Amino acid sequence: MILGLSAEEVADKFRKGDIRFTVFGMGKMGLPLAAVIADRGGIVTGVDIDPQRVEMINSGENPIKEEPGLTELVRKGVSEGRLRATVDGVRAVRESDVHVILVPTLVDEHGNVDLSIVREVAGVIAKGLKKGDVVITECTMPPGSTEGLIPILEESGLKLGDFGVAHCPERTMTGTAIRDITGKYPKIIGASDPETLEVVKGIYTIINVKGVYPVSDIKTAEAVKVFEGIYRDVNIALANELAMYCEELGIDAIEAFAAANSQPYCHIHRPGSGVGGHCIPFYPHFAMRTARRRIMHLTRTAREINDLMPVYTAHLVVRALSDAGRSVRSARVLVMGLTFRGGVREFRKTPAEGVIAELMGWGADVCAYDPMCTPEDAARFGVGWAESPEGFDCLVFVTDHREFRNFNLDRAAELMRTRCIVDGRQVIDPGEARKRGFIYYGIGRK
């Protein structure tokens, strides 16, 4: 029983291996967290519904190989007996003191929030919950959602106060999860009562070298993470809107933004062909769908602008081809990048999907290439695979992979049927492209 201990006492027990943790969800965020907890001295059971994933983890194999540093931590945790996985969540809860929920929170195509997986996990926890336990949600949810789980947890026969509840939002990105968990930013913590706050403070000061940032309650902690996502979405939308305005003025948005950002109160983000991933496109809906009054107009408008950018990028392809005297219908277009972000093999809400759909709708012959992907990945989007620009009429860069910044323009100029480039991520130098005879369009570029 750890409820009632001071933060220092909790931290000491954590280091000594006297606290047992259950982490629900062995995905891209849950498994790194479990592995870090084990590395810091905790005894961790990861719970997942996928028996094959559970088996891999228990054999010391990392199922998320693309996450830097995770393979070593999983192997170490398993070999030292500090990390294991199971499909039996109830038993794991009975054997643990702290139960962390880090499972997907979903949004459908209409923006409706679906927390069914989180509620299912709360029901499992209720079947094994004991007096003195602490339940922590880390998955991002609309403010008020964690407190909404309390009645489910009280089906255990216990009342809030017999156990503690907290929200300590994950602030991680795919590709840097270990770094983010262990010290890129301080950990936001909010709890149901001061005793629970002491417990989570003791836990996360061991996990995170940047320490903790306590807030007054659970709902505030939930709002922090949602607001972080909304801030970025709105700022990106502003950048996109200003970039399109710069195109009308005939000025370079990237140059203008860099100069504006030399003033410390200005922080314009980079424009681009769309906003993808599991986070930023969805978190605004957590506020828009739960606001009781008709507010959130700015947030809603920003979401509309960013959702429009893949279509706008496709329109630039049409303009470039038109300048070259070629119609988009039957033109051969190579989409450069399928993942939503450079260096990460993830496809959720990737702008490439919208760009491809728009171009194919206009009759273009579309193929794709991505250095992190395979021909099978391209087939998921209904297009062919091409590693060479030979015979294509337009290259459209949708993802900012590092490899694209070293793209061989000379070779492309020799091989392409028509020399057109549309740059949705500022990976190609406009002057260098035009020097080689390319018709170049970039979002916000002169």
Mean pLDDT across 265-269 = 96
Mean pLDDT across 290-298 = 81
pLDDT computed for residue 329 by the predictor: 94
Query: Whole-angstrom Cα distance, residue 387 to residue 367?
Result: 9
Query: Whole-angstrom Cα distance, residue 31 to residue 24?
Result: 9
Mean pLDDT across 409-432 = 97
CA 295 to chain centre: 26
Mean pLDDT across 91-109 = 93
Sign of CA dihedral 41, 43, 46, 47: negative
**pLDDT 10s digits, 194-246:** 999 999 999 999 999 999 999 999 999 999 999 999 999 999 999 999 999 99
| 112 pLDDT above the threshold of 90 | no
Contacts for 180 with CB less than 8 Å, ≥ 6 apart: 171, 172, 173
Mean pLDDT across 325-341 = 96
Query: Whole-angstrom Cα distance, residue 425 to residue 158?
Result: 53
Q: What's the chain's length in residues?
A: 446
Residue bearing tokens 């979405």: 233
Tokens of 208: 């995170």
pLDDT computed for residue 194 by the predictor: 97
**pLDDT 10s digits, 1-17:** 899 999 999 999 999 99
pLDDT computed for residue 21 by the predictor: 98
Please say whether the beta carbons of 398 and 424 come within 8 A: yes
| 429 pLDDT above the threshold of 80 | yes
Active-site choice (187, 201, 225, 349):
225
Angle at the Cα of 217 from the Cα atoms of 216 and 219, rounded to 5 degrees: 130
**Residue percentage of the chain with pLDDT more than 90:** 90
**pLDDT 10s digits, 351-405:** 999 999 999 999 999 999 999 999 999 999 999 999 999 999 999 999 999 999 9
pLDDT computed for residue 75 by the predictor: 97
The per-residue pLDDT of the chain, averaged, comes to: 95
| 143 pLDDT above the threshold of 90 | yes
From residue 58, give the alpha-carbon distance in Å to each of 79, 103, 173, 340.
Answer: 9, 20, 25, 31
Angle at the Cα of 282 from the Cα atoms of 212 and 223, rounded to 5 degrees: 35
pLDDT computed for residue 278 by the predictor: 83
pLDDT: is 340 or 106 the higher one? 340
Half-sphere exposure of 1 (CA within 13 A, CB side): 9
What is the per-residue burial (b if ≥16 Cβ within 10 Å, else e) of 391-421?
Answer: ebbbbbbbbbbebbeebebeebeeebebbbb
What is the pLDDT confidence band of residue 126, given thresholds at 50, 70 and 90? very high
pLDDT computed for residue 66 by the predictor: 86
**pLDDT 10s digits, 145-169:** 999 999 999 999 999 999 999 999 9
| 120 pLDDT above the threshold of 90 | yes
Please say whether the beta carbons of 128 and 58 come within 8 A: no
Collapsing DSSP states into helix, strand and coil, what is residue 22? strand
Q: Is 151 exposed, middle or buried (0-12, 13-18, 19+ CB in 10 A)?
A: exposed
Instruction: Supply the pTM of this predicted model.
Output: 0.91
What is the distance between the terminal CA atoms of the chain, rounded to a whole angstrom? 64
CA 13 to chain centre: 32
Collapsing DSSP states into helix, strand and coil, what is residue 226? helix
pLDDT computed for residue 290 by the predictor: 80
Tokens of 141: 């949810």
Please say whether the beta carbons of 430 and 247 come within 8 A: no
Please say if 225 is a catalytic residue. yes
How many C-beta atoms surround the C-beta of residue 183 within 10 A?
14
Tokens of 406: 């070293």
What is the pLDDT confidence band of residue 111, given thresholds at 50, 70 and 90? confident
What is the pLDDT confidence band of residue 277, given thresholds at 50, 70 and 90? confident
**pLDDT 10s digits, 240-261:** 999 999 999 999 999 999 999 9
Tokens of 263: 């003033």
Mean pLDDT across 177-184 = 95
| 142 pLDDT above the threshold of 90 | yes
Active-site choice (139, 168, 246, 279):
279
| 83 pLDDT above the threshold of 80 | yes
